[in-house]
Amino acid sequence: RRVHGAGRYPGYTEEAFPELFDSRAMLPRPLEKKEGQLSEELIRKYFEDGYIIIEDFFRQEELQPMRDSINQIVDDLARKLHKAMKISRLYDEFGFTERLTRIEEDFPGSNIICSKLGAVPNAFKDLWTNERLLNVIEQLIGPDISGNPAWNLRTKVPRNVVTTVPWHQDVSYLDNDTYKMLIPTAWIPFVDATEENGCLEIAKGGHRTGRVATHQCCHGGTFYTILEEAEMERTLDIDLEKDRRTCPVKCGGMVLFNNLIPHRSLPNVSEGIRWSLDLRWQRASDPAGLWGLKGGVQMRSSTDPDFKVDWSEFDAVNRHIVQTEYMKGDKTDLEEEEFDTTIQGPWMKKWEIVHMNHHVTRFLQLEEAAKGKS
């Protein structure tokens, strides 16, 4: 049922830009391949199918700092929750694939708090700017590369509705500038991602129309946008019986996909946490796609081979805080936010709200508060 608004919604468009996402967007083959760069066949597959799976790209010693950093994030969260008497104990006898699950059982919503990181941890920065990884991204968008502000640590604890992401196009969460920008995503697991623990499922070729389908908000008890299968078939010319692809990938590999391809994550019905990170890049000349709330961070320059990344401006803005302030029209109470287990963002204004839950209720409260201040 319609809960909010009327008529066409700001996310709706009839425009299509297939040439920005299909094989016509392929760049000329480099004269000399850099370390880590992919074959022309794989790059073509990326543009034709909308995604590729690359096995054994990272060495385990490159990923171990990520696991260490995640362990520290979980430990910091446990200590903060314990000090505030939100959980009964620290659960520090449990390891990488179990501890957050135990904390979540004691204080539901802990996995959401864990994912609402502000400054990018150093290990994440090192992975995001990994030389071989940027060499691959250069094959997709050219040598002037910025990191897009929509990066996410996925805290996929077992049997949890908030960690099961429904069908969507990534542009449904970003502003409409991104409808005509190529934003490659690397989805990087830190355990083997399987069908059992909730790997990705992708609608192969679902980007070829260059269209953005009409999404809704919000799925079940979550803050996620909804892309109905009938809408995928109608607008994006997808036949899910033929086009859906399950994408298991071992730790050390990654899934590369674009911002128009419909995808989802399957439920985690295993006993362990499926940790993963999704990182995004864009051409440095393109807008960041986040309603002007946060800019990207330049990572590579064609005119400066010795370019050094300056993280200071990027780190100074917490995406989750500014999104809440955007909805509220006022400064956020940081103490109130510290243990808030809801997420809101501007994408909730883009689409019809068809389902109420505690995330949506808080969004509507913030929106009302903003109207009162205007």
Position 1 pLDDT exceeds 50 = no
Q: Report pLDDT for 373.
A: 65
Contact yes or no for 187/304 (Cβ under 8 A) = no
Per-chain mean pLDDT for the chain: 94
Q: In the predicted model, is pLDDT for residue 231 greater than 60?
A: yes
Q: How many CB atoms lie under 10 A from the CB of residue 241?
A: 7
Tokens linked to 41: 């066949």
**178 has a pLDDT exceeding 60:** yes
Continuous segment of H or E residues that includes residue 85: none
Q: Which amino acid is at 42?
A: L
**Over residues 222-249, mean pLDDT:** 97
| Alpha carbon of residue 166 to chain centroid | 13
CA dist., res. 27 & res. 141, Å (int): 8
Res 3: pLDDT: 37
Residue 83 has pLDDT above 80, yes or no: yes
For residues 366, 367, 373 and 374, what is the CA-based torsion angle, rounded to 10 degrees? Answer: 160
pLDDT band of residue 324 (cuts 50, 70, 90) is: confident
Q: At what angle do helices 99-106 and 60-83 cross, to 10 degrees?
A: 20
**What is the reported pTM?**
0.95
Report the C-alpha gap between 84 and 239 in whole angstroms.
Answer: 50
Query: In this model, does residue 4 exceed pLDDT 60?
Result: no
pLDDT of residue 19: 98
Confidence of residue 336 (pLDDT cuts 50, 70, 90): low
The helix (run of H) or strand (run of E) holding residue 146 is strand 145-147
Residue 330 binned pLDDT confidence (cut-offs 50, 70, 90): low
Looking at residue 326, its pLDDT comes to: 76
- Phi-psi domain of 289 (left: phi exceeds 0; alpha: psi -120 through 50; beta: other): left
pLDDT at 113 over 60: yes
Confidence of residue 2 (pLDDT cuts 50, 70, 90): very low
Helical (H) or strand (E) element with 14? none
- 348 or 320, which is more confident: 348
pLDDT of 163 > 60? The answer is yes
* pLDDT of 366 higher than 90: no
Please compute the mean of the pLDDT values over residues 179-184 and round it to a whole number: 98
Residue 5 has pLDDT above 70, yes or no: no
DSSP string, 276-320: EEEEEEEETTS--SSTTSS--EEEEBTTBTT-----HHHHTS-HH
pLDDT (average), residues 287-292: 95
What's residue 263's pLDDT? 98
pLDDT of residue 151: 96
pLDDT at 181: 98
pLDDT at position 214: 97
Q: Given pLDDT bands bounded at 50, 70 and 90, which one contains residue 333?
A: low
Dump pLDDT digits (tens) for 27-70.
998 889 999 999 999 999 999 999 999 999 999 999 999 999 99
Tell me the pLDDT band of 323, cut-offs 50, 70 and 90.
confident
Cα–Cα distance, 263 to 225 (Å, whole number): 12
